[in-house]
């Protein structure tokens, strides 16, 4: 990109009021949507409840345990110590809604480096087109719609890293890149990819150093750190690439033996091809012409080579880290193509207003792909009688009491030492919490309400009493509970 005054990024805080408005708008808008979704009991133990309890423990200077997953320390599940940064916020407001706001603000913060990066070579108006496209991109919306995940910390870090590299602020770039090591173990390979990316910016030594650090931490996370904290089996439980091999080394050997194996896995399902198309099409496939494709390839591979079908599709949070790179790479790809003389003639002139097309495409896709399509209905913005009644049921349960409930209710009770989401790791018949709270009209995944109902009937026969029953809410209290429920 063309050189520009290195101090120009400092003026954005004072001159670009529209940008600051968009940052505020995105923070507030997506915070409101995700909080309303939570109040409608559409959030889940997996994963809002899990991370809520972990951060609550961090705020008390305790190990980030998860009782629903039966983990004494969640660092034995995923290595995401960056979650501890949320702990001070829990001193002010210790509730799951805090994490939902943090998530929205982290995404909104990425608008700043995206604008600075694109404005530098494309101009102000086109930069705003890319910023707005990011706000409405389906990958952003799907991530924010699905609870909370520490992956979102990587979004502004990645965007700032790309910007700092572009303006040759190597120290700041290094800090942003190395911070990714604290977000999640799979981002260690993105750190290594940044090292390769830096080599294309003639920073060979720094690039090689990051490759070494990234690969080293990938090994340490999977073989040493996570197994150390895993009290269950002292191993790493999230290797999801069995189609390539039983582990990283086995997968590497298989790929070296058959270089076409990743492509066989990549194109094994039509869903993967559709997702791949919808990642690049909203940006006119311009990221393909950017050097940032080096960063995109490992993230796309991690998403589409997984054995779990949850990764392949458009839902959940598995496209979060791709979002800022796709936007910034499309800008860089456009700059590259505009320098080609033969593209300045004939039909290729249509590339000139490409940022406008990108914004229009992402806006057109909103009513088709957005998980928030239901916000046009009045019921999304108001609480039902059942949802209003929940506050009366919740008030009966003291903050220090242990609670067992279904997965959609658990995130409303996870700021405590013992919260159990029924099903999966927790057997309703064997646990003896102070309180049970359930509602037949809410999501019970991964079990059914009939299973819960059978369990509750059994509990009533064995020392529990029903203290609340209204609008399908049922609260049971153990007769042996030593605390005092608020009546």
> Is the residue at 255 inside a domain?
no
Are 33 and 175 part of one and the same domain?
yes
Are 343 and 417 part of one and the same domain?
no
Are 367 and 399 part of one and the same domain?
no
| Token pair of 87 as six digits | 């702990």
**Cα separation of 359 and 82, whole Å?**
32
- Decide which of 325, 346, 375 is a domain's last residue: 375
Are 228 and 166 part of one and the same domain?
yes
Are 393 and 306 part of one and the same domain?
no
DSSP string, 206-266: HHHHHHHHHHHHHHHIIIIIHHHH-TTTSS------TTT-SSHHHHHHHHHH-TTHHHHHH
Torsional class of 476: left (φ above 0), alpha (ψ -120 to 50), beta (otherwise): beta
| Token pair of 251 as six digits | 């997968």
- In the prediction, which pLDDT does 425 show? 77
Long-range contacts of 166-175 (CB under 8 A, 24+ apart): 166/1, 166/117, 166/120, 167/4, 167/6, 167/9, 167/120, 168/6, 168/201, 169/6, 170/203, 170/206, 173/198, 174/206, 174/210
> Is the residue at 2 inside a domain?
no
Are 197 and 74 part of one and the same domain?
yes
Are 305 and 432 part of one and the same domain?
no
Are 174 and 296 part of one and the same domain?
yes
Residues of the chain with pLDDT under 50: 1-6, 485-487
| Token pair of 401 as six digits | 């009491």
- In the prediction, which pLDDT does 346 show? 60
Residue located via tokens 């423990």: 57
- In the prediction, which pLDDT does 349 show? 61
DSSP string, 116-135: HHHHHHH-HHHHHHHHHHHH
Are 313 and 369 part of one and the same domain?
yes
- In the prediction, which pLDDT does 102 show? 98
Are 302 and 451 part of one and the same domain?
no
- Domain count across the chain: 2
- Decide which of 354, 375, 396 is a domain's last residue: 375
> Is the residue at 250 inside a domain?
no
> Is the residue at 380 inside a domain?
no
In the sheet with 419-421, reading across from the earlier edge strand, the strands are: 419-421, 403-405, 435-439, 473-478, 464-470
- In the prediction, which pLDDT does 234 show? 81
**Cα separation of 284 and 329, whole Å?**
11
Cα→Cα distances 271→264, 278, 306, 372, 426, Å: 14, 11, 13, 21, 33
| Token pair of 3 as six digits | 């050189």
Expressed as residue numbers, the domain containing 302 is: 8-238+269-375
- In the prediction, which pLDDT does 251 show? 94
> Is the residue at 248 inside a domain?
no
Are 283 and 425 part of one and the same domain?
no
> Is the residue at 486 inside a domain?
no
Are 111 and 226 part of one and the same domain?
yes
The reply to whether omega before 373 is within 30° of 0 (cis) is no
Residue located via tokens 């309303």: 36
- In the prediction, which pLDDT does 293 show? 97
- In the prediction, which pLDDT does 423 show? 84
CA 322 to the chain's CA centroid: 11
| Token pair of 439 as six digits | 């509602």
> Is the residue at 257 inside a domain?
no
> Is the residue at 120 inside a domain?
yes
The structure's pTM equals 0.94
- Decide which of 310, 342, 375 is a domain's last residue: 375
């Amino acid at each position: 990109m063309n050189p520009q005054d290195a101090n120009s990024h400092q003026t954005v805080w004072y001159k670009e009021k529209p940008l600051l408005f968009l940052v505020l708008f995105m923070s507030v808008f997506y915070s409101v949507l995700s909080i309303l979704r939570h109040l409608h009991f559409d959030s889940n133990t997996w994963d809002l409840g899990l991370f809520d309890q972990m951060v609550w423990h961090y705020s008390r200077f305790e190990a980030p345990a998860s009782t629903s997953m039966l983990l004494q320390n969640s660092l034995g599940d995923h290595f995401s110590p960056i979650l501890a940064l949320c702990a001070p916020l829990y001193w002010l407001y210790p509730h799951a809604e805090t994490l939902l706001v943090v998530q929205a603000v982290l995404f909104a913060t990425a608008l700043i480096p995206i604008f600075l990066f694109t404005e530098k070579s494309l101009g102000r108006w086109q930069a705003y087109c890319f910023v707005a496209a990011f706000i409405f991109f389906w990958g952003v919306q799907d991530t924010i719609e699905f609870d909370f995940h520490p992956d979102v910390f990587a979004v502004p870090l990645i965007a700032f890293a790309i910007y700092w590299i572009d303006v040759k602020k190597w120290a700041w770039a290094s800090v942003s890149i190395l911070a990714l090591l604290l977000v999640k173990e799979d981002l260690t390979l993105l750190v290594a990819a940044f090292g390769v990316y830096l080599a294309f910016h003639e920073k060979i030594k720094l690039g090689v150093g990051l490759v070494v650090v990234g690969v080293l931490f990938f090994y340490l996370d999977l073989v040493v750190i996570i197994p150390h904290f895993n009290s269950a089996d002292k191993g790493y439980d999230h290797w999801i690439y069995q189609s390539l091999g039983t582990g990283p080394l086995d997968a590497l050997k298989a790929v070296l033996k058959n270089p076409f194996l990743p492509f066989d896995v990549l194109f094994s399902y039509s869903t993967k091809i559709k997702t791949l198309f919808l990642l690049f099409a909203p940006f006119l496939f311009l990221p393909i012409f950017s050097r940032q494709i080096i960063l995109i390839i490992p993230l796309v591979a991690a998403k589409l080579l997984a054995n779990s079908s949850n990764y392949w599709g458009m839902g959940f949070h598995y496209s979060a880290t791709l979002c800022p790179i796709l936007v910034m790479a499309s800008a860089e790809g456009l700059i590259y193509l505009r320098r080609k003389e033969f593209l300045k003639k004939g039909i290729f002139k249509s590339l000139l207003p490409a940022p406008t097309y990108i914004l229009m495409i992402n806006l057109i896709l909103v009513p088709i792909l957005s998980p928030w399509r239901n916000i046009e209905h009045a019921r999304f913005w108001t609480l039902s009688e059942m949802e209003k009644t929940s506050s009366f049921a919740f008030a009966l349960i003291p903050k220090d009491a242990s609670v067992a409930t279904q997965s959609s209710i658990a995130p409303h009770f996870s700021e405590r030492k013992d919260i159990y989401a029924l099903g999966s790791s927790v057997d309703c018949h064997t646990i003896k919490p102070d309180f049970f709270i359930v509602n037949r009209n809410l999501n019970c995944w991964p079990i059914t309400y009939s299973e819960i109902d059978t369990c509750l009937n059994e509990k009533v026969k064995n020392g529990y009493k029903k203290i609340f029953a209204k609008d399908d809410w049922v609260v049971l209290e153990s007769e042996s509970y030593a605390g005092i429920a608020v009546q």
